[in-house]
């Protein structure tokens, strides 16, 4: 994160990154479908959303400012937010104790409040849009 605006910036994001699509096809089916669903939500937040693989996982950005990502693990998917600590989380979905980042763990077969997670995805986008507009 840059000290001046506290925004995590990553060079190289573009409208549609073939490496992200390749990543989505290289995971166990159950995990892949969860990751695909939530990354699609990130892509649909606005016409200015860009993407790339960062540290090996699909990351959604506005220009070069990262706002969310998905990642798979052995038995779950994380939907993560670079400025998640600043997001309102009335439904208590966010996990993590870092200074800025938070995530939601999704496991195959477990129920998730899709509407609440969708609100978080859109809130992360809107929060980053405001940060960029203010900087």
* Euclidean distance between CA atoms 18 and 52, whole angstroms: 9
Domain boundaries in the chain?
18-130
30-78 tens-digit pLDDT: 899 999 999 999 999 999 999 999 999 999 999 999 999 999 998 999 9
CB within 8 Å of 135: residues ≥ 6 apart: 4, 5, 7
Tell me how crowded residue 106 is: count the other CB atoms within 10 A of its CB.
21
Mean pLDDT of 88-112: 94
Half-sphere exposure of 102 (CA within 13 A, CB side): 17
CA distances from 56 to 19, 71, 110 (A): 10, 8, 25
Mean pLDDT of 82-95: 95
Tell me the pLDDT of the chain averaged across its residues. 92
**Which one of 3.90.1150.200, 3.40.640.10, 3.30.70.100, 3.40.50.150 gives the CATH number of domain 18-130?**
3.90.1150.200
Q: What is this structure's pTM?
A: 0.92
CA distances from 44 to 58, 69, 76, 125 (A): 14, 13, 23, 10
pLDDT attached to residue 119: 96
Confidence of residue 135 (pLDDT cuts 50, 70, 90): confident
């Amino acid at each position: 994160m840059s000290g001046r605006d506290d925004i995590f910036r990553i060079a190289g994001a573009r409208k549609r990154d073939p490496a992200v699509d390749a990543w989505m096809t290289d995971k166990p089916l159950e995990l892949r479908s969860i990751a695909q669903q939530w990354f699609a939500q990130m892509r649909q937040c606005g016409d200015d959303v860009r993407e790339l693989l960062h540290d090996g996982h699909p990351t959604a950005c506005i220009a070069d400012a990262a706002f969310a990502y998905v990642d798979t693990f052995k038995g779950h998917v994380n939907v993560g937010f670079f400025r998640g600590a600043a997001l309102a989380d009335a439904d208590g979905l966010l996990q993590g104790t870092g200074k800025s980042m938070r995530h939601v763990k999704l496991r195959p077969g477990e129920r998730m409040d899709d509407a609440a997670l969708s609100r978080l995805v859109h809130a992360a986008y809107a929060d980053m849009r405001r940060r960029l507009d203010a900087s």
